[in-house]
Amino acid sequence: MPGRPALDLAPGLPERDADRLREVISGLLQLHDTMSQRAEAAAVADAYIALSDDGRHNFLRLLARDFWTDARKVDDAVAALRFGQNRRTDERRLRDVLVPPADRLLRLFSGLEGGVKFLVDLRADALRVGGDDVELTDLDRELRAQLATLFDVGLLELRRITWDAPAALLEKLIAYEAVHAINSWDDLKNRLDSDRRCYAFFHPAMPNEPLVFVEIALTVGLAKELAPLLDARAPDVDIERADTAVFYSISNCQPGLAGVNLGTALIKQVVEALRLDLPQLRRFVTLSPIPNFRTWVEAALDADGAGLTEGELELLPAEPARALARLSATDWDTDEAIRPALLALCARYLTSAPGGRALDPVANFHLSNGASVERIDWMADTSPLGRSRSFAIMTNYLYEADRIAERAEAYAARGEVPVSSEVRDLLRQ
């Protein structure tokens, strides 16, 4: 912005510069001229970008400490509401004093050129450099609330990404892929081939920045292994014969949007887009990791089977301590005697929802979105990561378009976990 005032701060934002910054922010919040206020806010944003991590942490703490609600003003407004004569006026006054000055500054940031992305990155910094700093808790909530409004799904655009997309966008897919790393341009081209689909959400203020994207393989029948989906040498599937869409990776691209659940809407909209594009598709499933299953099993066995059911203990090929030792061996996967126990344990792990939330974070995500646990796949991800996380087991979650809303509500309200008959049989063992 021409004529923007410069604000030169030391990278670590020492107390002397923090005092100066405090005065600048206080002053700009009192301005009535919109253009001047925006110019001052832009100068503050520019100065923030130049700070080190320590400086950014100090900046965020300054907002949380010095530009939050005034307890005295809140008490006065509450008293006025209780004893005053004009209730509506007093309610408005209370609402006004409950809005922290930091909120107004954040809204000014979002209105700047590039301000929406700045706000997203600001929250990413709050999560990254703030760590367990409890002083930033309320500021993070305020940031998340503003971002949830700015990124309402009604404002977002769903786009299919193909190999013809700009190179800069394709590079971002490689960088942002969080589930199954994209190892080369050939790997990426395979994932965007004729029998593949990739969809992403975009925001009008960030048209070249994917917010969250999902990768899909079109298959004949239910995919039970990961390797064929990622194998660039595998023959292409004739999409006219494909009857199943397998969602095998979903990646959030903007750390600052953590907790702003865009994945739910993405999956629902992608299902509808695929149904229109390929009406012969009959199944919409995931092939999903089970990130913490191995840790859960090892903890249960290390505790001498505490928490395991009588049936699960009977399925173990040895007493818990010896079973744990066998699973620690490098060739444990050749021990067929351990398979029934691991599958039964995995079924319970995926369907346990104490307090209405599944133990497994991926299960919680898909169940919240209205999916059901369709199948547990033995030796589905034999990569070192898959073995270390879940004994190479993966799971299929099924999305049935006409039951998504019903199942999502049942899970949210009552913690109900819908399962297929095959998974139910594993739970009965």
Q: Which residues pair with 247 in a beta bridge?
A: 216, 286
15-150 and 293-428 have identical folds: no
For 15, 279, 394, the CA distances from 389, given in Å and listed in that order, are 45, 36, 10
Specify the pTM. 0.88
Fold topology of 15-150: Butyryl-CoA Dehydrogenase, subunit A; domain 3 (1.20.140)
- Alpha-carbon separation of residue 155 from 148, 158, 253, 262, 282 (angstroms): 11, 10, 17, 12, 30
Angle at 368 between CA 278 and CA 177, to 5 degrees: 65
Q: What is the pLDDT of residue 88?
A: 85
Strand partners, 284: 245, 399
Alpha helices by DSSP H, listed for 111-212, are 115-130, 137-150, 167-176, 185-191
- The one-letter code for the residue type at 242 is A
pLDDT at 2: 46
**How confident is the model at residue 5, as a pLDDT?**
58
Q: How many residues does the chain have?
A: 429
What local confidence, expressed as pLDDT, does residue 429 receive? 75
Contacts of 362 (CB under 8 A, 6+ apart): 288, 289, 290, 291
Known catalytic residues are 288, 366
Model pLDDT, residue 150: 96
Does the domain made of 293-428 have the CATH classification 3.40.630.150?
A: yes
Farthest-apart Cα atoms in the chain, separation: 80
The highest-level CATH class for domain 154-286 is: alpha beta
pLDDT along the chain (429 residues), means of 10: 68 95 95 92 96 96 92 84 81 85 95 96 94 89 95 95 96 94 93 95 96 96 92 89 95 93 89 94 96 95 90 92 90 89 96 93 93 96 94 96 90 95 92
Domain ranges for the chain: 15-150, 154-286, 293-428
| Burial (CB count <10 Å: 0-12, 13-18, 19+), residue 13 | buried
